[in-house]
Structure formats: C-alpha cells, structure tokens
Structure 1
C-alpha cells in the first residue's frame, strides 16, 4: 500500500503491530501475530490502545475482521479500554467509521459501555457528527437500539451534546425519531408489565375476605402507580407518589397483618418501596425499661424496617391509660417513630382496636397530618369465616400440619357457616374472628385421627376432614 511504503521510507524502524493496524497492512499484521500471538491485545505506549482500537478508529475493515476472527491461543478483547476508558466501538463511533462499527456490533460489542467521562459510543458518534459531516455511524448505532436517553458524567444525553454544538440536522432528525420509537416501545412493554402486575395483585387479593373498601383502595393505588410507570415510559414527567402512612383499626383476627404483607408486596411490585419486607413490632420491641433506653431501641427497629413497612401492632399500648404516668416511655417511642415518618424511608402502619386507638390519634398533634389513611377492619360474619376456612384448606404449604388434607364435599360454604354460627358464641367470634379458623382446623384433624381405624387403607378417608371433625374442632376452642 502507498501509505505503508511512504511511512517505511521515512523511518528505518519496522512497523509495530499497531502500526500495521493503522496503515491497513494485513499481511504485515498477520506476520507479527504469527511470530508473537501475545501481541493480539497489546497496548501501545501513547494511549494504551490495542490493535483492535487502532484498526477500528481508522476503519481498516479487513484488519478488524481478521482480529475478530483470530483463532490463536489469545482471545480478542472486544471491550478492551484505552487510557480514556474507550472501547474499540468508541473509537469507531467517534471517527465515523461505520463499517468497523457494524462489524464490532455484529460480534456483540457493548452499546452501553461508558468511557471515563461517561460517554457511550452513541454520545461520541453524535458529538463528532458535525465535524465529519456524516450520520451513518449514528444511524447504525440506533439500528442496534442504542439508548438515546443515557447520560454521561455531566448528565448530558447524546441529543444534549448535539444541541450544544454546531449541530447536524440529519442526526437531530434521527435521534428525535428514535426517541419517539423508544418511548412507544417502552410504553408497550410497560403496558404488558402493568397487566401482569395487576393480575398478581388481583391474585393476592383473592386471599382477603371482606374488606371491600380496603381492596378498592389497594386497586386505586396500584392502578395509579402502574399508570405512572406508563406515563414515564412515554416520556411524560409526573410527580413521584409517596406511599401514605396508615392506621388499621379493628379487632384481632380481622386480617390486619395479612393485609400489611400484601400491601408490602404491592408497594414493592410497583417500585414505590425497594423491598417487600414488613417488620412487625409491638410495645415490648420499642419501649425500654429505663431512661434513655427507648430511643435507641426504637431507632434500631426503624432502621431494620427501612425500605419496607413498619407494622406497629397494638399501637394503643404505647400510650398510657393515665396521662400522669411519667414512668411510661411508650410516648417517647411513638414520637421517635413520628420523627422518621417524613423521611420517605419507611411506611408506618399503626394497628389496634378502634376505641383504644383514639388515644394514639389524640396523643400527638402531628399524627393525623402524617397518617392520612384510616381503614376499619370489621368483624367477620359466619359466611366470611366459612370462606376463610375454604381458602386456608386450599392453600396449605408443605410444612403445614394440614398439608395434603381436604374438606368433605358436604362441607359447603353454607354448611360451614351454619356450623360456626351454631357452635360458637358472638363473643368468641368478636374476640377471635379469623383467628378461630386455624385452631378449629388443627383440632378437626386431631378428631379425624381419633375416629379413624388404625387399619384404614382408604386414601380419601385418611385425608378428608368432615363436618363432624369441624364440629369437634369448634367445641375444643376456649369459651
């Protein structure tokens, strides 16, 4: 090649492997590598570039292809970085070397690789496009779906760089068109994800019996949050939602803890909370016995709950019955929790009986400003308790005492509801609510074991809980 001869005439030194890569001397480069295969990824002294960097930056396509196809003991470093953190694709991009860029992309070169200044290959291709008056390399990178929204260390997108310089109308058009296509594609993806997430939420809510107002609110939050995802995917700027702090009011066994766990999953699922963990605490977990113990103890629990939900059960126990009780440190724990509620690092749910919870609400003037959602968990009807019974029997996990067992066909919803109505008192149902189902079922299985003949070989008989067993289970409950 003429360029090679001119260079050799000016210098008595033989070309290095990098010199052959720059001049396009394929035969000379091949000979160098055959003599010393370790030169394949050797760095030069000036910019710490490999032969692939140099060949790509000069668009020496034959050299690039040869290096990519090399089958020697050394493996080509496709993502090798020079002193500026640039890969061979960066070099091809910033010099408008379209053919070399396409070869590298076909072999899997990374579009997202960032140089030391945070620039991707698309940044450099756009930045250099006015200088080289070419947009082919930009077009190629976009064909391979380079991200137009990625930012460098200064927070600049490729389009930002173009608008700051002399500009290139064709490149500007290309970027705008691709941005619109990316937005539409992301919106379509977001829609598919939204449908899947809503289906997951609907499935989780099938395990909540009753509580129609609460379920409606959960749906509203989920739909709003998921639609915000779609809005952002379309490039619309909308305010981030802050999850509200809540109070769950009602008797024990009405599903407050279970709903908190489902809520944790929901808020994590839609990206509002970084985790789905629910940290359950009571007075004893927060309040110390001596002066100076409560604050650190409460802060440890808040720290543990960060990123998720802090579920304060029987929260009314933090407030003493007598206002003059200066030896009670529950109020200090409450104030400590309140001070963290504006941080956005944790969602707090206070739970407890409706009437005693009024003490908590009135104890701190900032409570109602911070706790904006109040949900009332009513007592379950016998019909709802029967529904819970069927749900529990159909969703037993392997380590459960009832795993593998089933209800007899005669244990219909109506029959179980009538049985609960007949065998329990209103006081029992009000005090236990859903909490009476687990002991009833465990007692029922024990009754099944008691009435079966030890020589029984019938599989259905061995695994089927009858109305008679449920009745015995209810009669074993504390009055």
Structure 2
C-alpha cells in the first residue's frame, strides 16, 4: 500500500549538502563533503545560500563548527551573501541561533555586515527577540560591540521592531505601527518601545549596552585626544620662539580636539572654521614650517580633508597677458582645495605704483579672495611686514577675511643656536648630516656666542634660520678636510667640533 505523499516526504532522508546542513546530520554532511569538497560553498536554488547559511540559520552548531574548521583546499566563505545580501551571521541572528552566532563571531565574522536593505545582524536579532522573548543573540552581538546606532537603508535604527513596524533610535523621530511623530526634549526612543513579549527584557538589555558603549567611546575619545595633543606638542617643540603663535595653535588644537570628544559623547556642537591668516616677517623665520605644522594639525583633527600645503608665489599665479591670470590662479586654488594655500611674498601681487595698469597681480589676489568664504581652502598670506601693508590696503575685504595676523620676529643668536641643536637631533636619514653629532663642547651657549661673534646683525636679520643649514654643511666639509685617512676612531669620524662650526660660519660669511 502506497503511503501518503506527506508521510513519504517526512521520512525521506536528505540527499543534498544543504539538506544535511538543515537536518543537522553531521556524519552524512561530512561524508558528502569529503566525497565532493567543491560543495563547501555550493549555492542552493532560488535563495543562493551556502551550507554555512543553512546550518547557521538552523543553529546546527556542529556543522557550523566543522565548516569553519575545514582544512580542505577550498575554504568556507564566511562572508558569503544570499539573494538578499545576508551573510551566515545574518541568518543566525534573524533566527535567534545563538550557538551558531557565537561560533561565527569567534572566527571573525563581520559584525556590521549589511544586507541589501542595509540591515545588520543586530537589526535582525532585535526583531527575533521581540517575537520570541529571547535576547540571547542580541546579547552576544552586543558583547562583540555591535553598533547600537547602525542605520539601515530607510534610516530605521536598531532598538525595536514589532509585527507592524520599527522603532527608531535616532533622537529625532520614531516609527511605531506606521505612525511617525517627533520626540520631545529629553525623551529617548526607548521610552516608546513597541509593546511585545520581549520588549521589557530587550529595553533593559539595550539600555545597559548603550550606556556601556557611551562610556567606552568617552574613554577612547579621551585617549585619542591626549595622543593627538601630544603629537601636536611634539611638533610645536621644534618651533623656536613665536610664543604668541604657539599659544594660538594650542587654543585651536584644544578647541578642535575637545569638539571631537563632545561629538563622540553624542553632543551636538557647531563646526569650527579655521580663519585665514597672515604671517609677517623676514625670510628664514619659520613661516613655511609653521604652515606645514598647521596643515598637519587641521587634518589631524578633521577640519581639513588633507594636510597638503600648496606653496605659491607671484609667478605661479600671475600671467603675462590679459586673460591669463584668472585661469592660472584658479588652477592653483583648485590644487590647494582641502588643504592650505600658502602665498609666499604676497606683497609682490600688488604693484608698487597704483597707476601700473599692466600688472595683473591684483587680479590674482581678487581670485583668491573670491574663494575664501567657501570653506574649501585655508589661505595664508606671507611676506615682509612693511610691504605686506600694501596687500592689506589693496582690498577692503582683506581684513574681514584674514582675521589672524602673526609676526615672525628675527631670531636672536641664542635662538639660532637652539635651532642648530634641534636640527642635529632630528636628522632624516636622507640628510647630509645624518649620523653626525655635536661634540659635548658645542653647547647652546657656546654656539650662540660663536654666532654672535662671527656674524653681523644685518646678516642674521637677512638669513635668520636660513643661516643654520649651510653653516652645518660647511662644518662637515671642514671636518672631512681636517681628518686623516688613517683615522679609525668612529666617534671622531662623525663628530663636529666647535672649530668645525666656526670654520663653517666663516666660510658662509665670506
């Protein structure tokens, strides 16, 4: 007598790799896979699921473990996606398969993987927990630091979903049973969690994890802020003099980094815009170096997308004929976008004689001024203090846009000696002085006295920090000249003495 079809189908044993994965028949699964290892990532019809999808979705932990530890030539695809873009972890989460979820996470499954609709495993685990009153998979995902504020493609957020709708975790609006309304000040979406068998337990669990995440982010933000501030202080320590500018750099850095921390703690603060600046002083006073430090600072704290400093002079901006200057200047501005445009010797853009209508420098300045309110680039104008007055007076909007003026004073002999020591202690491996050091007799005091004695005030004022590099190069050449080829003292071979520095300075003076 023939049995009914439904009885036949219930008693039929699985014959496919997916059937074994669903039934949990480990021995049958192992036998089939060892006979045909290529089935390890085989896709089933319609749903395009792998054996790992199926076993994870039915919580067949032994089969999941076997697949994850498979030593064959072909490895299991941990992040394989089915027709809905769901990974095996999504399948475990949506069906409350906590054992399978723990195995997958333990083997490095991506916890924030998104399906085609943008949902993460935590979205699906929350949905299951509300229907089944079982928060174990939600708890597992949160223990692995799943993001409680992850958004899906329609901006619904993890917290709740019930038979008729989802509840939003954003503090702006929530959706319950298809009805959208605004939250009042101080209220959270958890206050409006849809009723359901598991809602109370879920609310308690998520509240605790949300608070833990806030604490963890606060600690991380504090640690990151301190590290960034230490990095800035290290940069500033290599800047000699310029006390006022250092104070301003620290103010900007602290404010920007504290804003980072405020945002990490969920606070809403206005976005800062770094002001455009003018650096006034003689050559060699550190204007370009400070601009580069500023670029790194603004990029480090997220104000600028890059730390690039585009250095330009008149010849890079001004054309020789009518109609050339505008496009030429705009190309340089475009090149500098996202970073700093450093206009060196900016006073050269303004003709000495007002009646000089053949000079196109003013056109270049006006092109630069026209983009300074866009926020796309930070502009620093640099040059001698006195000639820069022409630039300031040339455009009535200059002082409205350029709000920070910094004077770079000439370096004293003591400051030049300090610069020399900093350079010797921070030689890059491609520097001519790499591997060399100063004799202990070359103290900052001794070097300062040497510079004071061997240079004139006019020479120091004209060269400033530009005096140090050629002085050191000349000193190394003097060391090479006085050493014997028979010298085998490794210390003597790489040590500059005060006599070498003196010879280097005298050669520079000549």
Give the TM-score normalised by the residue count of structure 2.
0.85
In structure 2, the partner of 1:430 is 461
Contact 2:341 2:377 in 1 (8 A): yes
Q: Which residue among 211, 214, 227 is the counterpart of 1:183? A: 214
**Aligned-partner Cα distance in 2 for 1:459–1:38:** 64
Q: How many residues align?
A: 475
1:117 is the counterpart of 2:117: yes
Q: Which residue among 260, 276, 296 is the counterpart of 1:229? A: 260
Bigger mean CA offset, 251-260 vs 92-101: 92-101
**Taking structure 1 as reference, are residues 39 and 359 closer, same or farther at Cα in structure 2, changes over 3 Å only?**
same
For structure 2, the residue ranges without an aligned partner over 5 or more in a row are 161-165, 169-174, 177-193
In structure 2, the partner of 1:127 is 127
In structure 2, the partner of 1:205 is 236
In structure 1, the partner of 2:361 is 330
**Aligned-partner Cα distance in 2 for 1:41–1:463:** 63
Residue 247 of structure 1 deviates from its aligned partner by 1.0
Cα deviations by residue, 1:137-183 (Å, 9 ceiling, x for unpaired): 11111112211122222333213744434352322222222122112
In structure 2, the partner of 1:391 is 422
**Taking structure 1 as reference, are residues 50 and 394 closer, same or farther at Cα in structure 2, changes over 3 Å only?**
closer
In structure 2, the partner of 1:405 is 436
Residue 69 of structure 1 deviates from its aligned partner by 4.2
**Aligned-partner Cα distance in 2 for 1:12–1:178:** 46
SS of alignment partner, residue 123 of structure 1: helix
SS of alignment partner, residue 99 of structure 2: helix
Residue 466 of structure 1 deviates from its aligned partner by 3.5
TM alignment of 1:22-101, pairs within 5 A: 22-101=22-101
SS of alignment partner, residue 443 of structure 1: helix
SS of alignment partner, residue 477 of structure 1: helix
**Taking structure 1 as reference, are residues 247 and 11 closer, same or farther at Cα in structure 2, changes over 3 Å only?**
same
TM alignment of 1:285-304, pairs within 5 A: 285-304=316-335
Cα deviations by residue, 1:378-419 (Å, 9 ceiling, x for unpaired): 111121122112222222333333333333333332232223
Contact 1:43 1:49 in 2 (8 A): yes
**Aligned-partner Cα distance in 2 for 1:43–1:323:** 79
**Aligned-partner Cα distance in 2 for 1:349–1:7:** 83
Residue 438 of structure 1 deviates from its aligned partner by 1.9
**Aligned-partner Cα distance in 1 for 2:150–2:484:** 71
**Taking structure 1 as reference, are residues 9 and 427 closer, same or farther at Cα in structure 2, changes over 3 Å only?**
closer
SS of alignment partner, residue 285 of structure 2: coil
For structure 1, the residue ranges without an aligned partner over 5 or more in a row are none
Contact 1:22 1:58 in 2 (8 A): yes
Bigger mean CA offset, 469-478 vs 93-102: 469-478
Contact 1:244 1:347 in 2 (8 A): yes
Q: Which residue among 408, 411, 422 is the counterpart of 1:380? A: 411
In structure 1, the partner of 2:187 is none
SS of alignment partner, residue 110 of structure 2: coil
**Aligned-partner Cα distance in 1 for 2:377–2:28:** 65
**Taking structure 1 as reference, are residues 219 and 74 closer, same or farther at Cα in structure 2, changes over 3 Å only?**
same
> Which structure has the higher relative contact order (CA within 8 Å, separation 6+)?
1
**Taking structure 1 as reference, are residues 469 and 110 closer, same or farther at Cα in structure 2, changes over 3 Å only?**
closer
**Taking structure 1 as reference, are residues 290 and 24 closer, same or farther at Cα in structure 2, changes over 3 Å only?**
same
In structure 1, the partner of 2:179 is none
Bigger mean CA offset, 172-181 vs 26-35: 26-35
Residue 74 of structure 1 deviates from its aligned partner by 3.7
**Aligned-partner Cα distance in 2 for 1:463–1:11:** 88
Contact 1:162 1:172 in 2 (8 A): no
Contact 1:90 1:124 in 2 (8 A): yes
**Aligned-partner Cα distance in 2 for 1:424–1:378:** 18
In structure 1, the partner of 2:285 is 254
Residue 350 of structure 1 deviates from its aligned partner by 0.9
Q: Which residue among 242, 248, 259 is the counterpart of 2:273? A: 242
SS of alignment partner, residue 249 of structure 1: strand
SS of alignment partner, residue 431 of structure 2: coil
**Aligned-partner Cα distance in 1 for 2:266–2:104:** 31
Contact 1:314 1:353 in 2 (8 A): yes
SS of alignment partner, residue 476 of structure 1: helix
Contact 1:8 1:14 in 2 (8 A): no
Contact 2:455 2:509 in 1 (8 A): no
Bigger mean CA offset, 56-65 vs 375-384: 56-65
**Aligned-partner Cα distance in 2 for 1:249–1:374:** 7
**Aligned-partner Cα distance in 1 for 2:6–2:31:** 20
Q: Which residue among 290, 295, 304 is the counterpart of 1:264? A: 295
In structure 2, the partner of 1:170 is 201
**Aligned-partner Cα distance in 1 for 2:424–2:39:** 69
1:137 is the counterpart of 2:137: yes
**Taking structure 1 as reference, are residues 162 and 445 closer, same or farther at Cα in structure 2, changes over 3 Å only?**
same
